[in-house]
Amino acid sequence: MPGDTDERNTDIDYEDQVREAFPEIESIADADLREKTVEVWTLALDRGGWRDVHDVPHTWNIPEPNTVAHLRGVFRAAIACADVQEEFYGIDVDRDVVRVLALTHDVGKCLEYTVHVDDDLLVDPDPRYAGDDVPHQLSGYALAAEVGLPPEVTRGIPHGRYAIPGKTIEAALIESANSVSTNAMTMQAMGLTIEEWTEKHH
């Protein structure tokens, strides 16, 4: 399997962590997509050297709510929007692609955010991958491609300024749900809209 040679933190059961953190994985109908969703998270957590998936922050300066909470919120928002697209406009939406994208579009944070957390949250970051020199939107794309997720998923992972032109309806749903969730989380954590947060920190 892709990434098998990179498994270094064998005393940590990342697969169980991921399945417990994201019960939504079980709703992915396609068995291969379901297992690759677990695999990409396992690979990312191992290379980032994380002790626990819940320690991956949502942004470099907002540890709580964390990335797990953010992705679960994106999942629910994106599926609800898919329902509206189909019911009101008759647009077919690949629900499995939406489910996988919702749960994987920020997997690259496992690599980017290692430099923004306390060392005791990490056990053995792989210096070949971990660090904030590659944005998570791009490292997430690479991780997903490495484990064999299909193009309809991988091409939807780059988002924000890194979004690939000609995005699918599934990628557009994730982008919208991600924006809504991020805005809510910055308001909750800092009392700022995402626009205000971006202006202040970028």
Calculate mean pLDDT across residues 90-102: 97
Q: What interhelical angle do 31-48 and 14-21 show, nearest 10?
A: 120
What percentage of the chain exceeds 70 in pLDDT? Answer: 91
CB within 8 Å of 154: residues ≥ 6 apart: 141, 144, 145
Q: With a cut of 60, say whether residue 1 has pLDDT above it.
A: no
Q: What is the DSSP letter of 167?
A: -
Residues facing residue 59 across a β-bridge: 62
The CATH number of domain 4-201, selected from 1.10.3210, 3.30.310, 1.10.260, 1.25.40: 1.10.3210
Place 8 in a pLDDT band, splitting at 50, 70 and 90. Answer: confident
Domain layout of the chain by residue ranges: 4-201
For residues 184 and 36, give the distance between their C-alpha atoms in angstroms, rounded to a whole number. 29
